[in-house]
């Protein structure tokens, strides 16, 4: 399948250094995303978009989330900017539940950890759903790809 992301870069210039937990979240999300993802650029303004695989750079510029997409051989494919406003609350909720989860892992029994993890997954799914909505007409992604991209948006948002 050629309609996928083959490389992902996260532009963290001008951001604080991530905590070890956030760095781990980023590494896992990037690894999982590159293992399996679906990323299709639909025709825009009546013109076909170049086929993938794609190299994606995620950044926050001027308080907007930027998707900079190139083909594997480096040709520009697309660039789109999304408002961060729809993500703010869900990102905040996600990091709060993640902190609870990291804390719980150190000191609570598995049943309580599982309950927190279920809540974390629910918030994660909500963030992925918002991302799918915001990408409509710009890029088509499946739920797993949206979840992994949402994790990377959270990592970026942490510093932004």
Dist CA 77 CA 43 (whole Å): 11
pLDDT in tens, 34-61: 999 999 999 988 888 888 999 999 999 8
Number of domains making up the chain? 1
For residues 129 and 13, the model is more confident at: 129
Dist CA 98 CA 96 (whole Å): 5
Under the banding of pLDDT at 50, 70 and 90, the label for residue 159 is low
pLDDT in tens, 82-109: 999 999 999 999 989 988 988 898 999 9
User: Are residues 4 and 37 in contact, defined by beta-carbon separation less than 8 angstroms?
Assistant: yes
**pLDDT at residue 160, as a whole number:** 46
State the residue range of the domain holding 131: 5-159
* Encoded tokens for 103: 């804390």
Three-state secondary structure call for residue 2: coil
Dist CA 111 CA 108 (whole Å): 8
Q: Are strands 140-141 and 39-40 parallel, antiparallel or unpaired?
A: antiparallel
**pLDDT at residue 69, as a whole number:** 97
Residue 149, CB half-sphere, CA atoms under 13 Å: how many? 31
User: Are residues 132 and 143 in contact, defined by beta-carbon separation less than 8 angstroms?
Assistant: yes
């Amino acid at each position: 399948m050629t309609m996928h992301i083959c490389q992902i870069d996260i532009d963290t210039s001008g951001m604080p250094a991530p905590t070890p937990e956030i760095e781990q979240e980023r590494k896992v999300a990037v690894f999982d995303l590159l293992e399996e993802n679906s990323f299709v650029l639909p025709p825009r303004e009546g013109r076909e978009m170049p086929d993938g695989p794609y190299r994606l750079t995620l950044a926050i510029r001027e308080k907007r989330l930027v998707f900079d997409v190139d083909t594997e051989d480096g040709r520009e494919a697309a660039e789109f900017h999304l408002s961060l406003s729809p993500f703010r609350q869900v990102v905040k909720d996600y990091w709060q539940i993640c902190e609870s989860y990291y804390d719980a892992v150190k000191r609570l029994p598995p049943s309580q950890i599982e309950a927190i993890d279920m809540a974390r997954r629910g918030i994660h799914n909500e963030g992925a759903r918002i991302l799918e909505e915001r990408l409509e007409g710009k890029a088509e992604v499946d739920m797993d790809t949206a979840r992994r991209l949402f994790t990377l948006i959270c990592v970026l948002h942490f510093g932004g």
